[in-house]
Amino acid sequence: MDDLNTQVWAVDALGALAHETRLLVFRMLVKAGSDGMIAGAIAENCGVPPSTMSHHLATLERAGLVQSERESRLIHYRANFAGMRSLLTFLMQD
């Protein structure tokens, strides 16, 4: 990724985290570790309707901060530690 694309990605990732619910979700998934959580449990813990939570999770996934995996009818979400490491590396470089 060139510098401009990296900067655009970083702005998107920071924008994804710049929302109270999405920041809460990301921190919750970090605490859950590699086990992650299913979407319904995330929504319930945040007190957010499932349809709204789907939007927030999709935003975090597009930003490369969470990963999803379908397990039957459920979608399991995990924090993408590599994505966060990339963001922190970008912020701390130079």
- DSSP per position, 50-85: HHHHHHHHHHHHHTTSEEEEEETTEEEEEE-HHHHH
Are the C-beta atoms of 13 and 40 separated by less than 8 Å?
A: no
CB 68 within 8 A of CB 76: yes
pLDDT of residue 2: 74
- Give the count of beta carbons closer than 10 Å to the beta carbon of residue 54: 15
Q: pTM value?
A: 0.91
- Fold (topology level) of 3-92: Arc Repressor Mutant, subunit A (1.10.10)
pLDDT digits (tens, 9 = 90+) for 15-41: 999 999 999 999 999 999 999 999 999
pLDDT tens digits for range 32-67: 999 999 999 999 999 999 999 999 999 999 999 999
Of 35, 32, 38, residue with least CA distance to 54: 38
